[in-house]
Amino acid sequence: MDRKFKVIRGGLDSPLDSNKQFISAYITDTRLMGVTGLYIHWGIEAEDLSSDFHQFFYFDAEEYGFETYKSIVGNDIEEITVIESALLGGLGGQKVKITEKEACYLVQEYAKANVDLTLPLPKGKEEYNFILEKDITLAIKEKHELMKKMCDPIHSEFQVINYFLMRCFGRDYYAAKYLTNGRTPVEIYSDYPISTLCKNTIDISDEESNSYLCESLVESNGKYHIVISEISIDEFLVSSFKRRSDFKVSAAEAAMMLSRPEFITVYDLQTDNDEFIDNSLAEITTNAMMTIHENGRLFLAFNKNNSHVDKAVFRLNEDVYGMFYISDFGQMIIASYNVKGILALEMDLRKSPLKEYMDMTSKYEFKEPILYEFIQSDFDDFEDFLEFIRE
């Protein structure tokens, strides 16, 4: 989606050199997923100018620290919404109000993380440097209260186990400790590099001691391992964490473990007005992210929350409930991993402004995902692609 954002120039004539009055801030409660989004709204007062200044920050607690920064001067709601959706839409969390002190503390802490990780700060430092220069410290209790605001409320043992293992394998030990009784070791897999928890299967080991066996598929730099752990839970906190066994698996074996069905519906589009198509999809996908590919555009529609963590079998990629692929050759292909999802996507399209400009041509159920293969292929037409792979 091509949007023109206002460019804020530095120098004495910049409104950002003026006094800034804090108005509001929020953090997404997605800290236990390892990433969070921060928004701060300031009022700017200058001699001949009164305006608003909106800042967006994207933080990664594992490898990338203070990763992305965006801003807007003024109150163009459409532009603000576009940035908010692009930067924070895929996080799947709720917006939780925080104070000016808490917001500035977070910016400073993640900026320090960049120093520790030898990473450069995002472009636009001249705009957020005034935050870095503030003298801010939080007491231990204040840090805990802020962490509580940043975290999805825990209400099940599956949820705490999956979040805990995610944080341990990501070497995000601060968040891992937050999920324990304070006496449980969290670094028992420190010999592993930072890894992604792709899948986790939880089985009850001992009901009396509330103990669970976990089979985790983890990935780092394209290499996969199965790791077996035993975890005990007491009042939604980890009270025991033991390493049982681990072994390597091939990428092919990992792909089989992660495989699941994919439901696809294909439409012919009767319009090539990209702005109209993108705006129509924006109306029905409030939490979406668009990526550009060689032969089209892919919209990933994310769930509104991270409820996929609250399952006995957790899969990382279940935060996506559907995909819309708009090819440059007049096709729209929608996909979901279950029947309920694909029917919901079809219903959303029937209610959208696009309904007058699309004809359904085919529906498919595949034993494993295939849409990404088509997107990365040289084929223009999905039906031609299917004919080729069937040969």
pLDDT-based confidence at 48, cuts 50/70/90?
A: low
The pLDDT of 203-227, averaged and rounded, is 93
* DSSP, res 142: H
Kindly give the interhelix angle for 125-132 and 100-116, rounded to the nearest 10 degrees.
Answer: 110
CB atoms within 10 A of CB 359: 10
* DSSP, res 180: B
Asked whether residue 83 carries a pLDDT value surpassing 50, the answer given is yes
pLDDT at 8: 44
pLDDT-based confidence at 14, cuts 50/70/90?
A: low
Tokens of 267: 């439409």
pLDDT-based confidence at 6, cuts 50/70/90?
A: very low
Instruction: Give the distance from CA 232 to its chain's centroid.
Output: 28
The pLDDT of 258-264, averaged and rounded, is 91
> Is 43:52 a contact under the CB 8 Å cutoff?
yes
Q: Which residue has the higher pLDDT, 77 or 288?
A: 77
Strand partners, 298: 291, 325
pLDDT-based confidence at 278, cuts 50/70/90?
A: confident
CB atoms within 10 A of CB 368: 12
Asked whether residue 160 carries a pLDDT value surpassing 70, the answer given is yes
Q: Where are the domains of the chain?
A: 15-149, 154-256, 260-390
Instruction: Please check whether the domain covering 260-390 is classified as CATH 1.10.287.90.
Output: no
pLDDT at 10: 42
Q: Is the dihedral of CA 85, 305, 94, 170 positive or negative?
A: negative
Tens digit of each residue's pLDDT (9 = 90 or more) over 295-306:
899 988 877 777
Lowest mean per-residue pLDDT among 4-18, 40-54, 146-160, 258-272: 4-18
* 244 phi/psi in degrees, rounded to 5: -105, -60
pLDDT-based confidence at 58, cuts 50/70/90?
A: very high
Mean pLDDT computed over every residue of the chain: 90
> Which stretches within the chain are classed as H helix?
77-88, 100-116, 125-132, 140-150, 157-169, 173-178, 251-258, 274-284, 339-350, 371-376, 382-390
Residue whose C-alpha is closest to residue 9's, from 71, 75, 68, 82: 71
pLDDT at 11: 39
Q: In Å, how far are 9, 22, 42, 43, 45 from 48, measured between CA atoms?
A: 17, 19, 17, 14, 8
Asked whether residue 5 carries a pLDDT value surpassing 60, the answer given is no
Topology alike, domains 154-256 and 260-390 = no
* Percent of the chain predicted with pLDDT > 70: 94
* DSSP, res 194: S
* DSSP, res 358: E
Asked whether residue 360 carries a pLDDT value surpassing 50, the answer given is yes
What is the domain class of 154-256 according to CATH? Answer: alpha beta
Lowest mean per-residue pLDDT among 73-82, 84-93, 338-347: 84-93
pLDDT at 12: 36
